[in-house]
Amino acid sequence: MTEDNSEQRLNDSLRVVTSGDIEVSTYLEIAKEMGGEQPVAAEEAISKAKREAIIVIDFGSQYSMLIARRVRECQVYCEIVPHDTPWEKIAPLNPKGFILSGGPASAYDAEAPLAPDYIYESHLPVLGICYGMQVITKQLGGKVSPGIKNEYGSAILHLSDVDSPLFTDFPSSSSVWMSHGDKVEEVPPSFTSLAYTENSPIAVIGNKNGMYGIQFHPEVAHTPEGKTILKNFVYKICGCQGNWTIGNFIAESTASIKKQVGTGKVINALSGGVDSSVVASIIHRAIGNQLTCIFVNHGLLRREEVERTFNVFRLNLGMNIIYVDASERFLKRLQGVTDPEEKRKIIGEEFIRIFEEEANKLGKVDFLAQGTLYPDVIESASTGSKASVKIKSHHNVGGLPSKMTLSLLEPLRNLFKDEVRQVGLALGLPEEMVWRQPFPGPV
């Protein structure tokens, strides 16, 4: 498949997928219970070339990741940050605009999370979605109050101002998805009402400075024209150029890996799954034989999994692969064990022991490659945010002995799962490997 086709599939994708594949990293995660020193996070190299981003300010919405995906489908890079993130962490991304997410709070409550001052002081465009619209209203002098009737489900949106740039190519009436109990009762000074529904007389607000609020959710499939609004916001209002493409990502990542690794050596736990396969491919593209993959057969692989993986990576791509057939060792330890969690721990412990044994044979190693994805990063970052409910802490790798103090190399940490698949296709991996479904296991 050509790179252009890969990018087109990415842009048209409606999939919402997270990092659920049972990769080697899943088993490495268990090793955190075995003690030892964690790898040292290496400084992330950030490309300055044509950098632009839309920042989603997260107030605890279940749809925040979906908002980011929809923006990226417009070929504009998007990151999610907790609502209390300082400006110093956002400025290097060169933000072109902000999207304030929904959330479970009520903007009029004393403890309600609000947008940081820089959202308004930066004079960048802002789009508030649901609770985000109410936050704008509250902070800029309008009034938010409890609604007489909760609105959950489809509603018909009618435009009051068809000339707003937010509504370019948007029909005068369209179905949208509502999910709210509070309402905007009075718009802030300088704002006007731009659209309404039967239950929400003020469903969209805006001003002349590129600040908008919408009560519905444009990111969900139940709002058929929602992507039009997001596209208008990032292009017509924020002025983005649209340079977030698979080709650009591969080029920037290759250069970044070369710079970060230098003359060092990298090891990668290869499983044949999509995450570790794409990690191996993009790192090998950057540094060639400085990468060594360790492929452990734990006896739980699919039929002919070993042969297929070897054919792709060693025979076709010429990678250095250390193959360890430890199937009897794993199966012996699993014999008689029926509890899934106990199986998971046994596999994790045994895997890390074998990985350690093989890595020690290589001599000095500088980096450990991991298939960390963006949902892992988001879920971990939510730990310190009062607005977000922590889903899980991310321990992709843990329990490595202190003598294996390695820097982490995580080339996919800014990608969603479906973006990883498109990178794999663009790098020439077989479709059956890129689109393979996770193999059931003790997770």
- What positions carry a catalytic annotation? 130, 217, 219
Tokens of 266: 């990298």
* Alpha carbon 93 to its chain's center: 16
**Sign, Cα dihedral of 91, 111, 375, 355:** positive
* Alpha carbon 255 to its chain's center: 21
Using CA atoms, how far apart are residues 115 and 135, in angstroms rounded to an integer?
7
Judge contact between 112 and 106, C-beta under 8 A. yes
Angle between helical axes of 64-73 and 3-12 (0-180°, round to 10): 140
Q: What is the CA radius of gyration of the chain?
A: 24
Judge contact between 375 and 18, C-beta under 8 A. yes
Using CA atoms, how far apart are residues 238 and 54, in angstroms rounded to an integer?
9
The closest alpha carbon to 28, from 371, 424, 338, 420, belongs to: 371
Tokens of 262: 């230098």
Side chain identity at residue 115, one-letter code = A
Contacts of 186 (CB under 8 A, 6+ apart): 137, 142, 143
Using CA atoms, how far apart are residues 48 and 227, in angstroms rounded to an integer?
28
Using CA atoms, how far apart are residues 356 and 397, in angstroms rounded to an integer?
12
Tokens of 14: 């409606």
Instruction: Give backbone dihedrals phi and psi of 233, rounded to 5 degrees, phi first.
Output: -65, -50
Using CA atoms, how far apart are residues 202 and 195, in angstroms rounded to an integer?
6
* Beta pairing, strands 266-269 & 291-297: parallel
Instruction: Give backbone dihedrals phi and psi of 387, rounded to 5 degrees, phi first.
Output: -80, -25
Judge contact between 243 and 50, C-beta under 8 A. yes
The closest alpha carbon to 374, from 11, 6, 16, belongs to: 16
Judge contact between 39 and 400, C-beta under 8 A. yes
Judge contact between 373 and 19, C-beta under 8 A. yes
| Residue 60, strand partner residues | none
